[in-house]
Amino acid sequence: MARRYSAWSLFREGLRGHKGWGPAWRSPEPKKRYDVIVIGGGGHGLATAYYLAKNHGITNVAVLEKGWLGGGNTGRNTTVIRSNYFYPESVALYDLSLRLYEGLSKDLNYNVMFSQRGVTNLCHSEPEMEMAARLVNAMRLNGTDAELLDADQLRKFIPALNIRPDARLPIHGAVLQPRGGTGRHDAVAWGYARAADAAGVDIIQNCEVLDFITEGGRCVGVSTSRGDIRADRIGAAVAGHSSVLAEKAGVGLPITSYALQAFVSEPLKPVLDTVLISPVTGTYVSQSDKGGLVIGGGLDRVPSYGQRGNLPVQETVMAGLTEMLPILSKVKLLRHWAGIVDVTPDSSPILGPSALEGLYFNCGWGTGGFKAIPAGGYLFAHILATGAHHDISRPFGADRFTTGRLIDEGAASGIAH
């Protein structure tokens, strides 16, 4: 059982030269059998294990991770947390996540550094301002917070912004979600891992799932690089590699994997205290607590499993950045990387059973998986514990691609997925 972190424990360890900290979680040998196996030790997988223990009392759980915890998209995203979506189903899902994030540091006894500095979505034309007003109204009707800012309000809110009317892409206003912000991505993975481990969950790293064991048309376990492991229910939360895993199970998924790139600059003095997103310029940016600008852009337009950046997207993103914030044009980049994201035809996630009985998927979050970690874990735990959908996850079943009841957020909220 991990020791509780507190101001007192930090003070005491400070006096002792910080020599008394133990590992935050165990590294157990895999058992032969569990009630539930979760494949993927990223945010969603670890959160699933945590909520299985916390909400459903199921602690005989293994999380299998082929690399190290949070080494995929959980450690590669730009840490933005928001719920500024259009459809009621989406707001119900992402606002559950936002609410869980608001209490997460306390819940996990681990500081995830959720900073609610606001998420500001820019509009670059009058018609966009009309769509923005519609989005603000929809968000409020759906029970989350949103404000419409005009250019004058925006100038006061973000002084560094280029609001000149003769700009190439003039800024007319923005949609602000004040409760949105950024978190510390590694801390989210580590916090969930530590809390799940304390509840009795086995977190097994360097354990790759090689194949599925089926009996009578039902998935009853997995063959791994560390032997066969059996379970009653198996959940996969492997983001960009969902298709690779599904193929081993003989299941098809409506997913295309793309690289999503991000950049971080040299550390600067405070210049931007909100998350700034511009779908038109294809760039978004926030400033980390260390002072580095964390910059992202849209998807690559070519399917890819290559976890690294490339030049065409870099050019677009940097052009957008200097268009919005010319003050940053001399800033140097430190790093540039990519994660592989799982994009569905309607830019909404897939939660629920697969075509193979006993195997469940949590995937399709595309470019927005980080913000959804608490809700993804919460709902996936419900599905794995009960075998049935939660009311919030039901619209996101894979059956929507057959019934045609899509939740097309790519079009509706104009967010570049």
The residues that touch another protein, with contacts defined as CB under 8 A, are 241, 243-244, 247, 252-257, 301-306, 310-312, 344-345, 401-404
Of 257 and 367, the one with the shorter C-beta distance to another protein is: 257
Nearest Cα to 182, choosing from 273, 121, 314, 281?
Answer: 273
Residue 207 CB coordination number (10 Å)? 22
Question: Cα–Cα distance between 365 and 349 in angstroms, integer?
Answer: 5
Query: What is the CA 341 to chain-centroid distance, rounded?
Result: 10
In angstroms, the CA 262 to CA 335 distance is 8
| Residue labelled with tokens 């998935």 | 219
Q: How far is the CB of 147 from another protein (least distance, A)?
A: 36
Residue 362 CB-half CA count within 13 A: 33
Kindly state the smallest distance separating residue 253's Cβ from another protein, in Å: 7
Q: Which is nearer to another protein, 97 or 257 (CB)?
A: 257
Amino acid at residue number 135? L
Of the pair 162, 310, the CB lying nearest another protein is at 310
Judged by beta carbon, residue 241 or residue 417, the one nearer another protein is: 241
Tokens for 228, please give them: 């066969």
- Nearest approach in angstroms of CB 242 to another protein is 8
Beta carbon of residue 83, minimum distance to another protein (angstroms, whole number): 26
Cα–Cα distance list, 52 to 184, 209, 384 (Å): 23, 21, 8
CA proximity to 84, closest of 274, 361, 213, 290: 274
Q: How far is the CB of 236 from another protein (least distance, A)?
A: 14
Smallest separation, CB 388 to another protein (Å): 22
Judged by CB, which is closer to another protein: 306, or 387?
A: 306
- Smallest CA-to-CA distance from 336 within 259, 246, 264 is with 264
CA distance 397 to 399: 5
CB of residue 374 to another protein, shortest distance in Å: 27
Residues 87 and 389: their CA atoms lie apart, in Å, by 19
Contacting residues for 62 by C-beta, under 8 A, at least 6 apart: 30, 31, 34, 36, 37, 38, 201, 202, 203, 204, 229, 231
- Taking the least distance from each CB to another protein, the nearer of 88 and 254 is 254
Beta bridge partners of 38: 63, 235
CB closer to another protein, 114 vs 360:
360
Q: For residue 260, list its beta bridge partners.
A: 299, 339
With respect to another protein, which residue has the nearer C-beta, 12 or 308? 308
Cβ of residue 416: shortest distance to another protein, in angstroms? 17
Report how far residue 185's alpha carbon sits from residue 288's, in angstroms, rounded to the nearest whole number: 11
Which candidate, 46, 91, 78, places its Cα nearest to that of 65?
Answer: 46
**1/311 with CB nearer another protein:** 311
CB of 40 to another protein, least distance (A): 16
Minimum Å gap between C-beta 261 and another protein is 14
The residue (of 243 and 286) whose beta carbon lies closer to another protein is 243
Alpha-carbon span 287 to 273, nearest angstrom: 7
